[in-house]
Structure 1
Amino acid sequence: MSHSSPGAVFLSYASQDGEAVRRLAEALRGAGVEVWFDWDELRGGDEWDRKIRQQIKTCALFVPVLSANTQSRPEGYFRLEWHLAEQRSLLIAKGRAFIVPVCIDETREGEALVPDAFLAVQWSRLRQGRPASGGAAGGPGSGGQARSGTDEQLTQFVAQVQRLLVQPQAASPQSGVAPASTPTGRNVRRPRRWQIIAPAAAVLVGLAAVVWKWQRPAPSTQPDTAAASVPASTPAAVSTKSIAVRPARPPSAAAEPAQAAQPAQTGKSLVVLPLENLSPDPADAFFTDGMHEEIVQTLSRLGDLRVLSRATALTLKGTKDSLAAIGQRLGVAYALSGSLRRGGKQVRVSVELRRTADEGVVWQKRFEQEFKDGFALQDEIAAEVAKVLQVHTSAGWFAGAKFMTKNAEAYELFLKARDLPATKGPSPMTFREQVALGERVMALDPNFMSGASLLSQAYTYLFTSSRGTLGQAERTEIADKAKRWAERASALMPGAGDGALAVYYSMAEQNPERALVYAQNEVRALPNDPNGYNRLGSVASWGRYREALEAYNRALALDPMHVRALYNRVRVAAYLRDLPAFEEAAAKSLEHGGMNVNRYEIFEYRFNLTGKLPDGLYRYPDSIVGDATILWLGRRFEELLAEADRLLTKPGDLRLFSRFLALTFRARAAQRLGRPAVTADAVSAMVAIAETEAESAGLPERQLQWMKVTVLAYTGRKDEAIALCRRQIEASAAPAQTSVRWGWERDLALIHAWFGDKRECVEVLARLLLVPSGVTVVNLRLAADWDLVRDDAGFQALLADPRNSAPL
């Protein structure tokens, strides 16, 4: 398989339709279109998967071939291809063609199991690779006429493809086509009142709307690492085949992301390109990296100069793109580049500043001095750049600006530790390794501010990610070390070093008011550091969502590729019911975020805003119960029961809380399927966990209380469940606990819904719909959680009120 060109057409189809698609490819080739087609290359593997993803990402047109074969297969690799294409279509400007469906039999659009984006455009009808014809095939005296009509229509289809490659105007929606009426396109049985399964008239709980609240971490406050991670590979099992169809001549225009997503260029804006290491000793590469980071950090302290982060700069290493293209894509007017040579006791740095628009040289200079203070040259370089760009500086602005260390070994260990979460994924094991490296760094250089900040945050993330697996004494020791190193970073560089304290108070002590003070200190000291604004947004996400969105937008204005700010903006935009901002952030997060993105969380947010769900199961490592959540929302109860049983096959492999969640899904699925014995067995196991294991497992208090509320509801103890829920609401009355209080109020509304308390449920929901609580009209209309109250007149009034669907 070869890579497709940027003007390629990508054909996606089920392997059973290979012959028909082969005829279609031959017709395109015969009409003068270059066709890539390797009939024998039906295989899997990571390399094959990467090539497929790259082709979908760069092709000009995506042509899904639809048939009874695709309709009969609810799972298949082609469905992942369709999902990737639909995700990319969100980035393409309105009015430009990208998805061009072709149906090769009598499959009807209204019944097709396809993404919504496929139903919004005109379909072409080609029977077995030829246009559908009203005449009978074969027979004396009729074959010639049928072939003539077929050839004419096929020629028209090929001409349409060529026209779209040159003038990519979107096909208009086909009249009479409507999406399926049910949330998943499947028949959904009318819900029936839940059965009594326990002596106390227990009612099963629907938790789909609140599961993520307990299994998701707080918005990520980690700084971006050197580059975006590569997304995890999909399963290697392949049952489809894909063809890239390339025109003989490059088209004049290909589908591109919407221009609105690109940052605007500003006059005083700069990217510092990675320095080239010309030293004879390859081991000096660390010194080159350190000089690059020092220059970026020092220039970032200039309040009226926008400097892109080092993470974004490193994505340009080795790029063949012109400076004009870089400037247009990243919205910067200048680029600083150069090289470093270190020999003996001398260090020589050559730098030049260019305009990105015309690549003209604005300034260039060679700096050479004896190597004493490892990164002292950055002060002089930054001062020269500031003078050339006429950037305002204040007296002493360089004082204390050195973020790096003079110790080569310490810096190499620091780089290794910093990149661990991106390369290995955020986990307790990763954070333990990061802590070990960080301790070595600080032993080598106790005055290394960035090292102290990194070590504090590593301890904080270890503290939050290890709940339920560590004893109280060890957790207390970890928290103490996190605080001590955060205070050390702040003492080494007041203001600029306060980021670690913001992370500690937000995540370890859950004191957002105090965390906000330190986050604001950091952005005042480093006004051009996107990591600081990402931390500020994460702290504000405790309830001040509009402020959080503004902070994330500021981080992304400074660094358009800041993957954590992108992903954090996904959640905030979803809670604010801002669909355009959500889809933009979600698409970029899925493309660039790698292991920093929880794809299931994005799936659920999209369901809450649009009612859309993915078709298949993915087994992504992002969440243990991610697929189960999607199955519950999609009312696929038989599959949900099988998924819950799969998760519970080896309970020792699941953490306690994940096992509890899997049991709730098993109980709900079994109840909906009318299997009371299975339901009772699951509830009994839940009770055992909540009453015996949970207290000694070191779980967070909120998780413990939620488990108690859930068990009370499952066993029919309604009044006790409501009373405990109300106590939690009262305990989170402080302004800093706003988002926590909204979460408990959602739980209270669900309890009322589970027991059919229509008036009480509506009263709580009416308040939650007016604030960014995560409750949406779409979820209320479609999710099974609300089946017992949905026919209430007051509930229907909530759904009809336009204020409850408007962005907040």
Structure 2
Amino acid sequence: MTRGDLPTIAVMPFSNLSGDPEQEFFADGLAEDIITTLSKLSGLRVIARNSSFIYKGRVADVRDVARQLGVRHVLEGSVRRSGSRIRISVQLINGRSGSPIWAERYDRTIEDIFAVQDEITLVLATELQVSLTEGEQARLQYTTTSNVEAWTQWVQGLSYYRQAVTKENCGRALPHWEKALALDPDSAALNGMLGLLHYVDARFGWWDARETALHKARSYADKALELDSESAVAFTTSSLVLLLEGRFDEAAAHARKAVELAPGSADAASFASFVFASSGLPEKAIVYSERATKLSPKYPGYYLGHLGHAYRLAGHFENAIAAFKAYEARNPGFGLVDLVIAYCQSGHPDLAEQTATRLLSRHPDFTIRRWASTQIRHDPTQLEAEKAALRSSGLPPGDETAHETTSART
């Protein structure tokens, strides 16, 4: 069975019926956990959170949602929390007819939330007739943490991280995840995600010195792998850390493993694309990026950044230009550096200079040195050629002695 023949589902954001806006993260976290667990199954295609959650707060016909996301089934749900009690209602719907297939209401204590998640995902796998390979039955269980207080801190941090990977959002997520890990130090997912934050810090120079941040990222990634050798999050984080360490073959192997462990995860595929492109394998990176966009039809803008990155490093400049223009249209100011390079390397110096002017109007403190310090290339001559392209387009080289930081998606 090809991925195109697999049963398909979109898990919609759960409604918060608690009457307390502060509990919104709780409902979001529950839906995201179900998506994450289902994405581990090779016999199911589950739409990524960043696509299904665009409908949050909107009234939409489930048949229209199914058509727009290209799925046959939709899961809707609601959460009502009162003190230590929770009521979770879920309904699996036929996306073509709008008819319910299965519905259930769970009235439990908050401590039972993980058992409820496991029951929901198991019923979904059964109702959708998902073929489970050896080992996937165990993966179907929720594994982030078994500590309710840790889970609450985890989803609070996740609510910031999912907004956008910026210094501010990551800085707000960090203390929540540190509190979560203190409550459950044996969680592979929590170690992995903390490692991811410190990888971003090591790359973009947000908080700690680079070597300090890299050491923290490596420690968390190693701990995550030690705790769970089948954690996709652990392998994704490890692949990115290995990339920063210049261990390209190992980075690609770990990125590939992450996708194998979570074949339905758009994020795992998109990060794998970035790792493969930076490791000198841009053609394979294109395959992973295209996979990510199929898993998440309403994908976030930075997926286009990863796709354009792969196209450009593979020498497919027209495709790269189209991807970066689309990225910048969605997220004004982002993707412009790569667009300057792509224009220059494809023989359009006038367009490169125009884009460079636009880049400086958006980011007046931009320097080539600052940008280059965040880049990772298997072939260092590639980066030198890119720096030359930026210089020829009139962008400032930067002070060689200055300590500079940058944003994640300039």
Query: TM-score range, shorter-chain basis?
Result: 0.7 to 0.9
Find the aligned partners of 1:784 and 1:352 in 2 and give their Cα distance. 55
Find the aligned partners of 1:548 and 1:433 in 2 and give their Cα distance. 31
CA contact (8 A) 1:294 1:375 kept: no
CA contact (8 A) 2:150 2:181 kept: yes
The 1:280–1:420 alpha-carbon spacing in structure 2 relative to 1, beyond 3 Å, is closer
Give the C-alpha shift of residue 422 in structure 1: 6.6
Q: What SS does the corresponding residue of 2:269 show, helix, strand or coil? A: helix
Residues 1:457 and 2:190 aligned together: no
In structure 1, the partner of 2:64 is 325
The 1:279–1:398 alpha-carbon spacing in structure 2 relative to 1, beyond 3 Å, is farther
Q: How does 1:139-288 map to 2 (within 5 A)?
A: 268-279=7-18, 282-288=21-27
The 1:314–1:403 alpha-carbon spacing in structure 2 relative to 1, beyond 3 Å, is farther
The 1:422–1:339 alpha-carbon spacing in structure 2 relative to 1, beyond 3 Å, is closer
Q: What SS does the corresponding residue of 2:72 show, helix, strand or coil? A: strand
Find the aligned partners of 1:421 and 1:347 in 2 and give their Cα distance. 25
Give the C-alpha shift of residue 354 in structure 1: 1.8
In structure 1, the partner of 2:249 is 513
Give the C-alpha shift of residue 464 in structure 1: 2.1
The 1:306–1:580 alpha-carbon spacing in structure 2 relative to 1, beyond 3 Å, is farther
CA contact (8 A) 1:286 1:408 kept: no
Q: What SS does the corresponding residue of 1:376 show, helix, strand or coil? A: helix
In structure 2, the partner of 1:492 is 227
Residues 1:315 and 2:16 aligned together: no
CA contact (8 A) 2:239 2:255 kept: yes
The 1:443–1:511 alpha-carbon spacing in structure 2 relative to 1, beyond 3 Å, is same
Residues 1:544 and 2:285 aligned together: no
Give the C-alpha shift of residue 526 in structure 1: 0.7
In structure 2, the partner of 1:440 is 179
Residues 1:590 and 2:328 aligned together: yes
In structure 1, the partner of 2:31 is 292
Q: Deviations over 1:512-550 (max 9, x none)?
A: 111122112211111111111112111111211100110
Give the C-alpha shift of residue 551 in structure 1: 0.7
Q: Deviations over 1:534-585 (max 9, x none)?
A: 1211111121110011011111111121432221111222333435633542
In structure 2, the partner of 1:71 is none
In structure 2, the partner of 1:79 is none
Q: How does 1:414-433 map to 2 (within 5 A)?
A: 414-418=154-158, 420=160, 426-427=166-167
The 1:267–1:303 alpha-carbon spacing in structure 2 relative to 1, beyond 3 Å, is closer
Q: What SS does the corresponding residue of 1:393 show, helix, strand or coil? A: coil
In structure 1, the partner of 2:302 is 564
Residues 1:605 and 2:342 aligned together: yes
Give the C-alpha shift of residue 370 in structure 1: 4.2
Give the C-alpha shift of residue 619 in structure 1: 4.2
CA contact (8 A) 2:48 2:295 kept: yes
Aligned partner letter, 2:380: V
Give the C-alpha shift of residue 408 in structure 1: 5.3
Aligned partner letter, 2:90: V
Name which one, 1 or 2, has greater alpha-carbon Rg: 1
Query: Mean Cα displacement is larger for which, 495-504 or 580-589?
Result: 580-589
**TM-score, normalization: structure 2?**
0.79
The 1:334–1:607 alpha-carbon spacing in structure 2 relative to 1, beyond 3 Å, is farther
Find the aligned partners of 2:364 and 2:308 in 1 and give their Cα distance. 17
In structure 2, the partner of 1:229 is none
Q: Deviations over 1:357-408 (max 9, x none)?
A: 3323233233344443332212111111111211112465343642434555
Give the C-alpha shift of residue 742 in structure 1: 3.6
The 1:495–1:434 alpha-carbon spacing in structure 2 relative to 1, beyond 3 Å, is same
Q: Deviations over 1:613-660 (max 9, x none)?
A: 24864645457347xx9xxxxxxxxxxxxxxxxxxxxxxxxxxx45xx
Find the aligned partners of 2:378 and 2:164 in 1 and give their Cα distance. 34
Find the aligned partners of 2:302 and 2:339 in 1 and give their Cα distance. 14
In structure 2, the partner of 1:157 is none
The 1:266–1:523 alpha-carbon spacing in structure 2 relative to 1, beyond 3 Å, is same
Find the aligned partners of 2:193 and 2:30 in 1 and give their Cα distance. 19
CA contact (8 A) 2:89 2:104 kept: yes
Find the aligned partners of 2:218 and 2:283 in 1 and give their Cα distance. 29
The 1:532–1:559 alpha-carbon spacing in structure 2 relative to 1, beyond 3 Å, is same
Give the C-alpha shift of residue 463 in structure 1: 1.7
Find the aligned partners of 2:117 and 2:197 in 1 and give their Cα distance. 28
In structure 1, the partner of 2:215 is 480
In structure 2, the partner of 1:523 is 259
Aligned partner letter, 1:533: A
The 1:375–1:289 alpha-carbon spacing in structure 2 relative to 1, beyond 3 Å, is farther
Give the C-alpha shift of residue 303 in structure 1: 0.6
CA contact (8 A) 2:110 2:148 kept: no
Find the aligned partners of 1:353 and 1:372 in 2 and give their Cα distance. 24
In structure 1, the partner of 2:98 is 359
Find the aligned partners of 1:380 and 1:285 in 2 and give their Cα distance. 22
Q: Deviations over 1:174-197 (max 9, x none)?
A: xxxxxxxxxxxxxxxxxxxxxxxx
Counterpart of 1:404 (choices 116, 119, 144) is: 144
Residues 1:342 and 2:77 aligned together: no
Find the aligned partners of 1:608 and 1:581 in 2 and give their Cα distance. 13
CA contact (8 A) 2:29 2:155 kept: no
The 1:503–1:575 alpha-carbon spacing in structure 2 relative to 1, beyond 3 Å, is closer
Aligned partner letter, 1:324: R
Q: Deviations over 1:58-102 (max 9, x none)?
A: xxxxxxxxxxxxxxxxxxxxxxxxxxxxxxxxxxxxxxxxxxxxx
Aligned partner letter, 1:514: E
Q: Which ranges of structure 2 fall in alignment gaps of 5 or more residues? A: 395-410
The 1:399–1:500 alpha-carbon spacing in structure 2 relative to 1, beyond 3 Å, is same
Q: What SS does the corresponding residue of 2:223 show, helix, strand or coil? A: helix
Give the C-alpha shift of residue 418 in structure 1: 4.1
Find the aligned partners of 2:164 and 2:87 in 1 and give their Cα distance. 36
Q: What SS does the corresponding residue of 2:132 show, helix, strand or coil? A: coil
RMSD: 3.6
The 1:377–1:593 alpha-carbon spacing in structure 2 relative to 1, beyond 3 Å, is farther
- Identity among equivalent positions (%) equals 22
Aligned partner letter, 2:255: A
Find the aligned partners of 2:386 and 2:154 in 1 and give their Cα distance. 43
Give the C-alpha shift of residue 316 in structure 1: 1.1
CA contact (8 A) 2:163 2:169 kept: no
Q: Which ranges of structure 1 fall in alignment gaps of 5 or more residues? A: 1-263, 630-656, 662-698, 704-735, 751-774, 786-808
Q: What SS does the corresponding residue of 2:191 show, helix, strand or coil? A: helix
Q: How does 1:552-701 map to 2 (within 5 A)?
A: 552-560=289-297, 561-578=299-316, 581-593=319-331, 597-609=334-346, 611=348, 613=351, 614=354, 617=358, 619-622=360-363, 624-625=365-366, 657=369
Find the aligned partners of 1:604 and 1:556 in 2 and give their Cα distance. 24
In structure 2, the partner of 1:69 is none
CA contact (8 A) 2:321 2:339 kept: no
CA contact (8 A) 2:26 2:155 kept: no
Find the aligned partners of 1:552 and 1:573 in 2 and give their Cα distance. 10
Q: What SS does the corresponding residue of 2:288 show, helix, strand or coil? A: helix
Aligned partner letter, 2:28: D
More helix by share: 2
Q: How many residues align?
A: 382
